[in-house]
């Protein structure tokens, strides 16, 4: 792009080659190309195409641009034929076209408003920056009742000291995209966007950021009807010089960016890509070898659509809601909407962690299931942000009748305590044992071991005997209240499993010693728990 197109000092694109045997695109050089530069097409309604090309040379009043000694660019419009050619070409408008450069336009859906790029020439004045350079600006015109363009408006974000150009409108007409080298640009030229308000005013220009813009030149943006942003850049890896890329636009972010395959891209400049989102036909410009002029317009048909899948993921860990301890062995199931994804159902390992891939803009539910715990779930609604990671903690509430401590499954009742040197069942202990009796009657197949313990006071052998009496006392109470002895076992552990520091010779309070005089209820066959 070194002749007429180069006058758009700041604007043109690039990506990697796909070696498909069957090309995604079929292209042809249209017959209307000449030895001069033809480029920068825009759809004007359903059957017309607008493009830029040098005007005829004027020998009376010089209209040559010093950049290439060719006439300045003007805008032309032609009718699209069934085979993608252009016929009946004429100038777009003598109001829009001047003796200086005009190129790169975009039209409103009703075709009554046009935004176009022009040299900084407005109301008869040709303006330059402080370095003596005539920059580019975007102007707007409206279509009058007489069918002619009028009311040329200078955009409020134009400036004599930097260039603004290559406009394109979003499908809903609420956003205008363009390129500029204004302050805040990341590279030589960046793509910006600006809001168009209902009263016709404009917001502040916003840079599209590093997901799109590079340190090089981003140029010729084009928004298709299905949220696809096509643009050219020389700041990404590609086939050479400017290449065409496509980014999928999300509501708040860029979902993904793809390099268009050959033959759209070549080793030369490829730019100004436009496409009809329904017919998948369009045009692009290139100065590749084999063309008719310095820049040519090419027609194409997309045979296979580009499919961009936005991906996210979720990572998490399963914990006990009450203690915060990890829960390895939990079954974690992923649902999309109401459909279970069996391939992503896992039993978590020792670290109790899980990780699932997710699709963007979807609704998911993660359910955790574990013995002796109530099922719990987490809802995740993914956005359009590519590669976002959701970090979650899936907490499970222990069953009201059972609890898990380490590798032990226990009846969920308060620990019963004994008086010093006694094995009689205290009134407070009887209340807890009555809870245990209800659970055992509900689950007649489970077997419970009553592990009785003593404090450290007294000889070890005596404490062994005392703990055995406490275990037997507990079993006798349960049997007397209707529990089969086959469901029960008792074992005395003496003072060998203290719960605190109160070992032999350590001074402790009576309350601290009492904590060791206890009976615990461990289920020895938890696999038989069933309603």
CATH number, domain containing residue 366: 2.60.40.1120
Give the domain-ending residue among 302, 335, 369.
302
Residue range 39-68: mean pLDDT, rounded: 80
Q: Are residues 362 and 376 in the same domain?
A: yes
**pLDDT per residue as tens digits for the range 277-298:** 999 999 999 999 999 888 999 9
With pLDDT > 70 as the criterion, what percentage of the chain qualifies? 90
pTM above 0.85, yes or no: no
What the block records as the tokens of 151 is 């009311």
Q: Are residues 294 and 350 in the same domain?
A: no
Q: Are residues 336 and 456 in the same domain?
A: no
Structural domain harbouring 340: 311-396
Q: Are residues 196 and 344 in the same domain?
A: no
Q: Are residues 349 and 414 in the same domain?
A: no
Q: Minimum mean pLDDT among 144-153, 293-302, 352-361, 413-422: which range?
A: 413-422
Q: Are residues 387 and 447 in the same domain?
A: no
- pLDDT band of residue 257 (cuts 50, 70, 90) is confident
**pLDDT per residue as tens digits for the range 341-388:** 999 999 999 999 999 999 888 999 999 998 778 899 999 999 888 788
Taking the C-alpha atoms of residue 390 and residue 386, their distance in angstroms, rounded to an integer, is 12
Query: What pLDDT does 461 receive?
Result: 76
Give the domain-ending residue among 368, 396, 424.
396
Number of H helices, E strands in the chain: 3, 38
Query: What pLDDT does 137 receive?
Result: 97
Q: Are residues 128 and 211 in the same domain?
A: yes
Q: Are residues 333 and 186 in the same domain?
A: no
Give the domain-ending residue among 336, 368, 396.
396
Q: Are residues 276 and 138 in the same domain?
A: yes
178, 81, 164, 86: which is closest to 120 by C-alpha? Answer: 164
Taking the C-alpha atoms of residue 440 and residue 402, their distance in angstroms, rounded to an integer, is 11
CATH number for the domain spanning 176: value is 2.120.10
Average pLDDT, the chain: 86
Torsion region of 450: left, alpha or beta (phi above 0 gives left; psi -120 to 50 gives alpha): beta
SS3 521: strand
CATH number for the domain spanning 485: value is 3.30.1330.60
Q: Minimum mean pLDDT among 386-400, 441-455, 472-486: which range?
A: 441-455
Q: How many CB atoms lie under 10 A from the CB of residue 208?
A: 20
CA 146 to chain centre: 48
- pLDDT band of residue 155 (cuts 50, 70, 90) is very high
* Total domains present in the chain: 3
Q: Are residues 145 and 73 in the same domain?
A: yes
Position 495 pLDDT exceeds 90: no
**pLDDT per residue as tens digits for the range 464-488:** 777 778 778 888 888 999 988 888 8
- Give the DSSP per-residue string, 12-40: ---------SS-SEEEEE-TT--SS--EE
Higher pLDDT, 54 or 457: 54
Q: Are residues 367 and 270 in the same domain?
A: no
Query: What pLDDT does 447 receive?
Result: 87
Higher pLDDT, 399 or 390: 390
**pLDDT per residue as tens digits for the range 198-242:** 999 999 999 999 999 999 999 999 999 878 999 999 999 999 899
């Amino acid at each position: 792009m070194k002749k007429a197109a180069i006058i758009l000092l700041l604007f043109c694109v690039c990506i990697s080659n796909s070696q498909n045997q069957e090309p995604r695109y079929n292209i042809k050089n249209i017959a209307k190309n000449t030895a001069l530069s033809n480029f920068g097409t825009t759809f004007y309604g359903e059957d017309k195409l607008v493009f830029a090309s040098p005007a005829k040379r004027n020998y009376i009043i010089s209209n040559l641009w010093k950049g290439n000694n060719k006439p300045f660019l003007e805008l032309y419009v032609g009718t699209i034929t069934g085979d993608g050619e252009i016929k009946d070409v004429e100038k777009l408008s003598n109001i829009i076209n001047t003796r200086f450069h005009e190129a790169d336009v975009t039209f409103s859906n009703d075709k009554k408003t046009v935004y176009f790029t022009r040299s900084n020439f407005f109301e008869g004045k040709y303006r330059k920056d402080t370095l003596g350079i005539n920059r580019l600006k975007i102007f707007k015109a409206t279509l009058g009742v007489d069918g002619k363009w009028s009311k040329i408006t200078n955009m409020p974000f134009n400036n004599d000291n930097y260039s603004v150009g290559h406009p394109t409108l979003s499908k809903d007409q609420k956003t205008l995209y363009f390129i500029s080298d204004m302050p805040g640009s990341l590279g030589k030229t960046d793509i910006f966007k600006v809001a168009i308000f209902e009263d016709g005013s404009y917001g502040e220009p916003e840079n599209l950021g590093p997901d799109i813009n590079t340190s090089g030149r981003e140029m010729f943006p084009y928004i298709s009807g299905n949220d696809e942003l096509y643009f050219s850049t020389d700041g990404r890896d590609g086939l050479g010089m400017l290449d065409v890329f496509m980014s999928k636009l999300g509501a708040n972010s860029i979902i993904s960016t793809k390099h268009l395959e050959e033959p759209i891209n070549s080793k030369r400049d490829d730019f100004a890509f436009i496409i009809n989102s329904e017919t998948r036909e369009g045009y692009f410009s290139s100065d590749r070898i084999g063309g008719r002029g310095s820049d040519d317009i090419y027609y194409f048909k997309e045979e296979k659509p580009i499919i961009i899948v936005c991906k996210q993921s979720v990572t998490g860990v399963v914990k006990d809601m009450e203690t915060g301890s990890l829960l390895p062995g939990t079954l974690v199931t992923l649902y999309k909407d109401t459909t279970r994804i069996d391939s992503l159902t896992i039993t978590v390992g020792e670290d109790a962690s899980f990780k699932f891939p997710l699709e963007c803009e979807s609704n998911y539910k993660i359910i955790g299931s574990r013995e002796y715990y109530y099922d719990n779930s987490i809802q995740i609604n993914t956005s359009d942000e590519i590669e976002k990671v959701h970090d979650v903690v899936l907490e499970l509430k222990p069953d009201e009748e059972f609890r898990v401590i380490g590798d032990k499954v226990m009846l969920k009742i308060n620990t019963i305590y004994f008086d010093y040197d006694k094995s009689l069942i205290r009134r407070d202990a009887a209340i807890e044992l009555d809870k245990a009796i209800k659970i055992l009657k509900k689950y007649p197949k489970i077997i419970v071991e009553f592990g009785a313990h003593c404090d450290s006071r007294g000889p070890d052998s005596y404490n062994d005997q005392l703990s055995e009496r406490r275990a037997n006392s507990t079993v006798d109470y349960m049997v007397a209240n209707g529990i089969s002895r086959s469901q029960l076992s008792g074992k005395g552990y003496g003072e060998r499993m203290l719960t605190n520091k109160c070992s032999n010779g350590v001074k402790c309070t009576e309350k601290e010693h009492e904590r060791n005089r206890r009976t615990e209820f461990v289920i020895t066959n938890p696999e038989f728990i069933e309603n």
